[in-house]
Structure formats: structure tokens, C-alpha cells
Amino acid sequence: MKMAQNENEKIIYSPSVIEFVTVCVEFCAFLEEDKPESRRQWLGKIIRILPLLYLKATLLPETIALNDEPLETFVSENDYNCVAIKVASIMGEENIYLDVFVEDMKYSDTPISASISEDIADIYQDIRNFVSVYQYNLTAQMNDALNRCMENFRSYWGQKLVNVMRPLHALYYRDNQFWNRENEEELNLDNLWD
């Protein structure tokens, strides 16, 4: 039993896991802060932290669940809604985007839309639940929380992350390079590359 515990601690405190936890903490703190930011500032931060979160998740060691008990959840419906509402207010009319990587898309005659605020809140929910186990130093649950987070990354929030990067990237660089809200209508896109 002592040997298994030592192996478990090698995984849950390994450098790659600690780096992932660090990025997760930054991600959660960024979404939870009350400081109002412009959309441009917010986009600049989120398009940097999301790829880092994805990269650090891909570097995590393989784990297996050690306990049969369900993991504690820390994110309430109110917490989820606070993040979703904050992101929706920052994004405004740009909150909805067309999602092409949805299973139902191949059966649909109409475009399928997604919400940046809901995608970010979905990612936040899983990350916050994971990082809270480490934050409260619940050593007995750390391995299983890491295992659950990785399973959800592979099957759920990893895809949401890469999907939401496309509209975030487009908005950030569009706002910074070509578009100015005052003269957006005057811009002739047909002549953009002439």
C-alpha cells in the first residue's frame, strides 16, 4: 500500500501536473476577477491562456481512477452562471458563432451555433472542480480528480476549447487589424486584397 501511495504522489505532484494546476489556477482567477476589462484586453488574455491550458493538458501523465466514490463538485450553478454572464457581457453581439465540429452538423440543413460564454463556462466548470481538489489539498482525491479532468478533456472540454479559439482568434485580430467600429460599414471586403 505504501508503494502505491508513493507512486500516486509521484504522479499528482509531478512537474507536468503542477504546471497544469498552475495554468488552471490562472485561468480560473482570470474568469473570476471582478475587474472590468475592455473586450480587446479580455480577448488578448483569453487567447493566450486557452492554448497554454490545452498544451499543458496534453502533457499530463496517464492515470487510473483509484476510488469508486464520486468526486466532490465545487462549482455551483450560480458560479457557472456568473462566469457565463460575465463572458456574454464582454462579448456582446459577438457571443454566438457557427460551430462546424458538432456531431449533429452532418445531419443538419441549417448552421449550428454555439456560444462563446457557454463554452468558456463549460471549460471553467471542469477546471475549477479539478483545481479546487488541489487548492483544498485533498490528497486522497487528487489522482481521481486528475483522471476525471483528463477524461473530460479528451471527450468534452478539449474540443470546446479548440472550437472557441477560432471565433476568439478572429475577433481579436479583426478588431486589432482591419475593423474600426465607426467605419466598419465603409470597408469594402471585395477590395481588401487588391
pLDDT tens digits for 109-147?
667 889 999 999 999 999 999 999 999 988 889 999 999
Q: Which three cell numbers stand for residue 70?
A: 464520486
pLDDT attached to residue 120:
98
Q: Which residues pair with 114 in a beta bridge?
A: 97
Structure confidence by residue, pLDDT tens digits, 30-68: 999 988 788 999 999 999 999 999 999 999 999 988 888
Question: What is the average pLDDT across 98-115?
Answer: 70
Report the alpha-carbon distance of residue 133 to residue 170 in Å, rounded: 35
pLDDT attached to residue 181:
46
Residue 184: pLDDT above 70? no
Centre a 10 Å sphere on the Cβ of residue 107 and count the other Cβ atoms it contains.
8
146 and 12 in contact (C-beta within 8 Å)? yes
25 and 131 in contact (C-beta within 8 Å)? yes
Q: Which three cell numbers stand for residue 84?
A: 457565463
DSSP 37-55: --HHHHHHHHHHHHHHHHH
Q: Taking the model in full, what pTM does it have?
A: 0.83
Give the CATH H-level superfamily of domain 2-65+73-178.
Answer: Protein of unknown function DUF5063 (1.20.120.1550)
Q: Which of 161, 138, 129, 128 is nearest to 58 (CA)?
A: 161
